[in-house]
A and B are shown apart, each in its own frame.
Chain A
Amino acid sequence: MCNVDVVDTTIILKWEWDNPCDLNVTFSTRYQQNQENEEISPDTWSAILECQDITTTECDLSSTILEYLENYTVGVRADTTQDYSPWADLTFCPFMNAKIGPPGVWLDSINGNEKIIILNPEINKPVKMWESENLCYNLTIWKNSSHPEEKTGPVFPGQFIHDLEPETTYCLKVNAFLPYNNGLYSPEYCKRTPKAWTGLPVPEHLQVHALNMKCVLYWDYLYEGNVSFLVQSLFGHKSRSSPDISKNWINVSGCENVQTAHCDISDFVGFDGIYYFQIQAVQNHKKSPWSKMQRFEPHRDNNLGPPSIKLNASEDSLQISVASPGEVENNSMSKLYPLTYQIWYWPNSSYNKKKEFVDKTSPPYVISGLSPSTLYCVQVQAFAQQYNKSSEFSNVSCIEIAKGNFLAVYIPIAIFVAVILLIIGFIYFTHFICKQVKYVFFPKCNPPLTIENIGGKDVSSSYLLTSEEPTEDCVVIVDNSSPNDVDLVDVKDLREQEEISQDSGNYSNNSGSKGSLQTTEQKET
């Protein structure tokens, strides 16, 4: 039964031997480096020279195992003068098994601040396990009282610890950690804090307001007097790799001697990265302690101002041109955030804002199917989906869908209807004329024969005229004025009538003779 204990680059193999038979044994050890997923090879064992024929139950492998990211198999065997035990083997990866050693820690009082000094566990060591890692540190601090209550949180080496009571004894310990590796705690360190600070008070409540990447750092300072402020910044990447961040603070240009309780840091910060800020008040040669540090992550903490919009109405639709937040000030946020726009539009008469989402693709955005002669109002909001960040609303902008549009839509319909009506009218008129002509020249209807000589007068002469001119007066007038015409028609009519009667007479005669023939035939049969 063996196990390996790794702290930083110190690798100790330990095994248990309860010596049941009270034998006089020594131990031998061996090792091999394994490739990933490779079986233990029986031929590539090397002896661990420092640990041959030893009587202790542990072996320091630190000078043997140097590739900390590789896998090793180590074995141990008990030897007597006559015999030896089988090998007990163990495979491990030093890095994955390693604990981080205890860091060194203490507090330094500097001008009213308590700075925590944390020494890297591997400082001054010739070989390092954590060389390419950014070690994180956890601080545990408590008041040295009868009822200590611990508080724990992450801390950077060289950071100031705030809000400690004066003339009070605090104890603290620190450990380093990584995602796979726990760290051992430093020895406890206790310190009595100095007397209360009586110099310039500390600036408080730092906060960054960022709108369209115009970033202004604000702070509170209640002390009355001719005070100026010094703003310093620390880059996030430095804070996580530095052995002492107090050396990495740099003055923010333009904010080195400000009289106001705010300062524009826009020129200092870029869009990428994480920043920390701290402030010190200065009066003549007196300096306040440094404030608490304030974190600022531009791409997350920046706010988007309103987009601006321009409207154009055409036909039944609205065209919306959108300028992204900051674009008007030549500082377009669409260069930094992939933006989409949400458009709200509503007819001015109603209070229902009909929400419409429009994708980012190719502005201007068009809303169609709108009622003409109506005033429409539009409001736009930009949205950066990747950051789940919405801009302020644009101003409400209204535009009327013009009447021209109304005419443009309805005149063609009116013309169409008119044309249809005209065509129908024309067809009806033509039909009427034809009917008249036909009636006049080719009348279909004749008066029945039985009324041809009503009242001893030739009725047929006035029959058509009567139908044409229903009044009796007309009959009289026509009768007298154009007797020839009437006679002509009359004659023709009569002749036709005669022919018809003759025809029918013949026909009936024929049929009559036929019928008689049939009867005779019947009689014959």
Chain B
Amino acid sequence: MRREDGSRDSPAMTDPEQHSYSRADLDRLGEKVAKGRTAAGLDPAPARTRADTAMGDGLRIAIEFVVSVLVGAGLGYFIGGLLGGAVIGLLIGLLFGFAAGLRGVYRGMMAGSAESAEEGTRDEPGV
């Protein structure tokens, strides 16, 4: 296969008569690539990703905030239970969870969205 392609390519490069053939070949290849991209569902997505980034960001940060509070409260309740004061632990854990949630919101706002993280994370990891 590969040898056949190679032998087809080399006259195209040396012989100017073959130029149009090679051009059509390239166009067909471009069409195939475009079709493949569409088939893989990769073409429309990146464009739309940026369009609904604000909504996605908001939801992501909201979920992280709520989860942080709940995990903090649960962890506090668990550790408090081990130490014999589940309610005190719950309250302290709730505060820490709230703080962790706020930190997550702050970090999320500073770092930009995870959805557009392809650009964002390159300068984000230090944050």
Co-assembled chains A and B: no
